[in-house]
Amino acid sequence: MSEERIVYMFDEVDPSKFKTTSELKEFFGGKGAGLANMTSLGLPIPYGFVIPCKHSLHYAEHHEMPSALKDQVKESIAKLEKKSGYVFGDINKPLLLSVRSGAPVSMPGMMDTVLNLGMSKAIAEKMAESNERFAWDSWRRFIMSYSDIVKETGREPYDEIMEDYKEKKGKKLDIELSAAEMKELGDLYLIEYKKLLSTEFPEDPWVQLFGAINAVFVSWDSERAVAYRKMNKIPNYGTAVNVMRMVFGNLNDDSGTGVLFTRSPMDGEKKIMGEFLINAQGEDVVAGVRTPMSMDDLQKERPEIVEEIFGLANKLEDHYKDMQDCEFTVENKKLFFLQTRVGKRTASAAVKIAIDMMDEQYIDEKTAVLRVAPEKIEELLHKRISPTERKSPIVKGFNASPGAVFGKAVFDCGRAIEMKKAGEKVILVRKETKPEDFPGMIASIGILTSRGGKTCHAAVVARGIGLPAIVGAGDLEIDEEAGIAKVSGEVVFKEGSIISIDGLAGNVYVGEVDVVDPEITAEFQRYLELCDKYRKLGVRTNADTPQMASDAIKNGAEGIGLCRTERMFNAEERLPKVVDMIVAESLEEREKALNVLLPLQKGDFKGIFKTMNGKPVTVRLLDPPLHEFLPDYKTMLIEFTELRVKGDHGDRFKELEFMIRKYEELKEENAMLGHRGVRLGNTNPEIYKMQARALIEALIESQNDGIDVHLEIMLPLVSHVNEFTRLVSILKPLASEIMASANFTPKNTIKWGTMIEIPRAALTSNEIAKHAEFFSFGTNDLTQMTYGFSRDDVESKFLMKYIDEIEPPIMKDNPFEHLDPNGVGKLVAISVKDGRSTRPNLKVGVCGETGGDPDSILLYHKYGLNYVSCSPFRVPVARVAAAHAAILDEQGKL
Ligand code: ADP
Ligand code: MG
Ligand code: MG
């Protein structure tokens, strides 16, 4: 009779039968895999067995345990009895068990471990003969934890009994209670159990065991576990159950329990770090009731045991070739390991451990690169909240731009500028931001908004200039007029209150948090250089100022992929000049206004060329619709009405009347889909002509100053090839003319290219590539137009519901953040292929928000792009992600 094998004794698992550790973990769960591995390495672990994950899925479906499972559990207990010499339910030699759940990835919400399973009052009585207090303490703990964990009553009723009892006896601490008192407590607990569950406490060990196994299975589908899986996108693996013999760290002073890391999880130092509690069981270490001793202290007191612990820990690290996090227990001088897993670590520890293990020849260079997740790199580049900070956030928003800061809340851009001048550090709190808020934004050390998503104005600007920002904190009701912020109707802070934001996590705090500085270590530098060695994608930056450009270069950028010229218009003192240009009533007037802007733009370009000396600079000509630069319509209207009511028809009234008319003339229902980019360029070429002149004159002067300029001019929002060719036919001759009259030859040819950000452009790439010398994907607009999602609205309206609320989710990821391989990704792939079919050497980059996103970078590598471009502060992330992409590709895992 060959029956399916359901239950495996630890020494019946053959880890070598699994190709990778993750496959082993998927089958036996993390804990089970660790126990099986430790067994096969010969480490001392309490004997036991594991029920693989898939059986809990079966249970979830059928709500009952297959009888074969029950039979095999019974057989396994028999094997355990035989090997250990203890007998399940026997009074003289009781086999006590721990029952532990263990999913393939560690997951809160799963059933906690039940210790001392198999006890009954009679067993406790017998155990009490040799160690009275230990016996009765274990018994009452077991009743409580069985009720709490298996029967889900919570432990509070029992804690209350304990408190009352201590009060009655005039005692403060648990340890002051005598053995007899513990015994009495056990009796009180039994009464409570019956009261809570209307049934006697099961003294039959088999009922206890199957009850516990059952509870593990059920916990896989508990609300908390399901929510956690959803949030972290963990597949429905099921959970394993591990049953093993108890070892007692609370037997006497030659016993104890501890945890260790084989290297420091904080900074990666190569040193075994750990904590140990003498005469204690399992959770006592974590519970923090007593202060544990450090490994160093333990070494002084029990050098032999520490030597043994270190030997075994090193053996594990040697096997896994990675830092391990272990649990162990000493029972009467005998050491047992109870758990091992790859240890969690901070980003700086991850980098140091990767580089150290490479130097130690544990792992090769490529493995070292893959040991640090690209997203983690962010942690190393910004100020962040100290790991010891305990304050809890008042609200959460989108983590739009990383960095942790605290400062005074201000609700108005003018106030932000004033307060900054007065030397204050301010955090700008707004419902949302608009281009005209830029001066207020740069006067602040952080931004907090209640609206918007990852690609809203506040987010894009903040990321660009490296300003910590949280956007779309929807639970925060912001009253800009009154200068107050509320949560659920209650005021949480006002103008001038100190608040803190953590842009990496998206958390908002009232008051000051503990902040730590970023640190560029030698290992980090080496790690990044290692990444550069393997990556195939170039990494450029989106930068509009010399300052941003030099920040980016420090972070390793190889060029500018996107210089947005409209950002240069936003400076406080320039805006009126831009407005003059916009409201001009005739071509002549407009050209006059443009002539005022020309030297300013030229100056900006020269600054950037100088910083980027020798590196390519892609400059995009004006992109947004013009009315975006005009003052706020509502504000103008209110002022205008007030003047009219007062009967004041002076200059200001006339000015407002004119501006309001202009605004209404320019305003469009769908400005994002409107008169902007090359559309504006084609109807009003004078604007692009001014910009081209500023660029060429800057080029001439810079090159004459000895600067090596690699200029690429990019035309935005092309949908039809003719939009591009018409403009190039105007601008290129202009450029030649300017150069000829200056008797100038550029050292490097000027390239004319386009941003691919409209589906039609992507689909007609072969046409466009006949004329355009480079492409750069603008995935913000491309996503907007591919999905028909307004990028300014969808994230706060419904997109997050699609992802997080509706069950099953309509979408897995935010397509503005992560390139969607079936939507925009497909267009990108087609466009690259078609473009290169016309122009084989077509250079292709991406400069949208996805250009700095690790998941998207994997795809850009796959599609054969030449470079990605991202904000200066994400450049290191992109370097790491690009290296991951190249290595995974080589290993056939992309
Ligand atoms: P978690 O996943 O929460 O770490 P564990 O299953 O590791 O849960 O168990 C919780 C505690 O119980 C640990 O501190 C562990 O040391 C202890 N423990 C688990 N199994 C045994 C055992 N067989 N003997 C003694 N203590 C155990
Ligand atoms: Mg554990
Ligand atoms: Mg665009």
Query: Roughly how many angstroms between the first and final C-alpha of the chain, as a whole number?
Result: 44
Ligand 1 atom nearest to CA at 247: 24
> How many whole angstroms from 176 Cα to the centroid of ligand 1?
26
The pLDDT value given to residue 285: 58
596 exposed, middle or buried (CB, 10 Å; 0-12, 13-18, 19+)? Answer: middle
Q: Which two tokens stand for residue 739?
A: 């150069």
Task: For residue 249, give the ligand nearest its CA.
Answer: 1
Report the CATH number that the domain containing residue 141 is assigned in CATH.
Answer: 3.30.1490.20
User: 882 CA to middle of ligand 1, Å?
Assistant: 40
Within a domain: 423: yes
User: How many angstroms separate the CA atoms of 717 and 349, rounded?
Assistant: 44
Nearest CA to ligand 1 atom 11: 282
Rounded CA separation 270/869 (Å): 36
**What is the 388 CA–ligand 1 centroid distance (Å)?**
25
Among protein residues, the one whose CA lies closest to atom 15 of ligand 1: 282
Instruction: Give the end of a domain, one of 218, 250, 282.
Output: 250
The ligand 1 atom nearest the CA atom of 245: 23
Q: Is the CB of 46 under 6 A from ligand 1?
A: yes
Q: Is 542 in the pocket of ligand 1 (CB under 6 A)?
A: no
- Give the pLDDT score at 289: 56
Identify residue 181 by its one-letter amino acid code: E
Is there a domain that residue 322 lies in? Answer: yes
Dist CA 382 CA 104 (whole Å): 32
Range of the structural domain that residue 463 is part of: 382-516
Q: CA torsion, points 557, 562, 565, 566, in degrees to nearest 10?
A: -110
Cα(320) to ligand 3 centroid in Å equals: 47
- Size of the chain in residues: 894
DSSP 107-169: -TTSPPPEEEET--HHHHHHHTTT-HHHHHHHHHHHHHHIIIIIS---SHHHHHHHHHHHHHH
Ligand 1 pocket test, candidate residues 80, 98, 145, most atoms within 8 A of CB: 98
The pLDDT, as a whole number, for residue 666 is 93
Q: Quick one: which ligand is closest to 141's CA? A: 1
- Residue 713 CB contacts under 8 Å (≥ 6 apart), including other chains: 618, 619, 621, 692, 695, 731, 750, 751, 752, 753
Q: Decide which of 460, 482, 516 is a domain's last residue.
A: 516
Three-state SS at 736? helix
Residue 175 pLDDT: 76
Amino acid at 740: A
Nearest alpha carbon, ligand 1 atom 12: 282
Task: Assess whether 561 and 427 both reside in one domain.
Answer: no
CA 817 – CA 822 distance, rounded (Å): 14
> How far apart, in whole angstroms, are the C-alpha atoms of residue 501 and residue 511?
10
Residue 677 falls within a domain, yes or no?
Answer: no
Give the 3-state secondary structure of 819-888: CCCCCHHHHHHHHHHHHHHHCCCCEEEECCHHHHCHHHHHHHHHCCCCEEEECHHHHHHHHHHHHHHHHH
Nearest residue to 517 (alpha-carbon basis) of 382, 425, 348: 382
Residues 307 and 337 reside in one and the same domain: yes
For the question of residue 847 being annotated catalytic, the response is yes
Phi, psi dihedral angles at 84 (to 5 degrees): -95, -20
From the CB of 97, is ligand 1 less than 6 Å away?
A: no
Tokens representing 461 are 């600007």
Same-domain pairing of 82 and 216: yes
The DSSP output letter for 342 is E
3-state secondary structure of 259: strand
The two structure tokens encoding residue 849 = 């928000």
Residue having the nearest C-alpha atom to atom 23 of ligand 1: 246
Q: Mark whether 602 and 546 lie in a shared domain.
A: yes
**Same structural domain, 499 and 583:** no
CATH number for the domain that contains residue 874? 3.20.20.60
The whole-number pLDDT of residue 106 equals: 85
Residue nearest to atom 26 of ligand 1 (CA): 282
Residue 144 is assigned to a structural domain of this protein:
yes
Asked if residues 508 and 395 have their Cβ atoms less than 8 Å apart, the reply is yes
- Ligand 1 contact via 847 beta carbon (within 6 Å): no
Q: Are 188 and 288 in the same domain?
A: no
Structure tokens given for 82:
């035989």
CA distance 23 to 518: 36
**What pTM, to 2 d.p., does this model score?**
0.85
Q: Are 758 and 781 in contact (CB under 8 A)?
A: yes
The catalytic residue among 53, 847, 861, 884 is 847
Whether 283 is in the pocket of ligand 1, judged by its Cβ within 6 Å, is: yes
Ligand 3 center from residue 468 Cα (angstroms):
23
Distance CA 86, CA 81 (A): 5
pLDDT of residue 1: 43
Q: Is 298 helix (H, G, I), strand (E, B) or coil?
A: helix
Q: How far is the CA of 276 from the centre of ligand 1 (A)?
A: 14
Residue 495: inside a domain: yes
Q: Burial of 130 by CB count in 10 Å (0-12 exposed, 13-18 middle, 19+ buried)?
A: exposed
- In short, whether 338's Cβ falls inside 6 Å of ligand 1 is yes
Per DSSP, the three-state class of 428 is: strand
293/278 Cα distance (integer angstroms): 8
Same domain, 755 and 775: yes
Residue 648 in domain: no
With the CA atoms of 241, 226, 153 and 162 taken in that order, what torsion angle do they form, in degrees rounded to the nearest 10?
Answer: 80
SS3 8: strand
The reported pLDDT for the residue numbered 384 is: 86
Task: Say what the pLDDT of residue 284 is.
Answer: 65
Q: What CATH number has the domain bearing residue 493?
A: 3.50.30.10
**Strand-strand pairing, 616-620 and 560-564:** parallel
Residues 236 and 336 in one domain: no
On whether both 164 and 154 belong to a single domain, the answer is yes
As given in the structure block, the two tokens for residue 437 are 């808020």
Side chain identity, residue 340 = T
Using DSSP bridges, classify how beta strands 843-846 and 774-777 pair: parallel, antiparallel or unpaired.
parallel
Cα–Cα nearest to 51, from 105, 116, 113, 99: 99
Instruction: Give the model confidence (pLDDT) of 429-451 as tens digits.
Output: 999 888 778 889 989 999 999 98
Please tell me whether residue 574 adopts helix, strand or coil conformation: coil
Catalogue the long-range contacts made by 387-394 (C-beta closer than 8 Å, 24 or more residues apart): 387/266, 387/346, 388/514, 389/513, 389/514, 391/500, 391/509, 391/511, 391/513, 392/509, 393/502, 393/507, 393/508, 393/509, 394/487, 394/492, 394/508, 394/509, 394/510
How many structural domains compose the chain?
A: 4
Q: Is 339 in the pocket of ligand 1 (CB under 6 A)?
A: yes
Ligand positioned closest to the Cα atom of 101? 1
Of 457, 627, 771, 884, the active-site residue reads 457
Q: Is residue 659 part of a domain?
A: no
> Same domain for 773 and 879?
yes
Q: Give the chain's mean pLDDT.
A: 93
Which bound ligand lies closest to the C-alpha atom of 100?
1
Same domain? 290 vs 174: no
Q: Return the closest-CA partner of residue 351 out of 876, 734, 815.
A: 876
Residues lower than pLDDT 70 in the chain: 1-2, 283-290
Could you tell me the CA-to-CA distances from 721 to 561, 727, 773 in Å, in that order? 22, 10, 13
Does residue 368 lie within any of the structural domains? no
Same domain, 269 and 236: no
From the CA of 281, give the closest atom in ligand 1.
Answer: 26
Picking from 845, 850, 881, the residue whose alpha carbon sits closest to that of residue 863 is: 845
339 CA closest ligand 1 atom index: 7
Last residue of a domain, which of 486, 516, 546?
Answer: 516
What's the alpha-carbon Rg for the chain, to the nearest Å? Answer: 33
Grouping H, G, I as helix, E, B as strand and the rest as coil, residue 455 is coil
Residues facing residue 261 across a β-bridge: 273, 325
Structure tokens at 191: 């009464």
115 ligand 1 Cβ < 6 A: yes
Q: What residue type is 458 in one-letter code?
A: A
Residue 218: φ, ψ to 5°: -65, -35
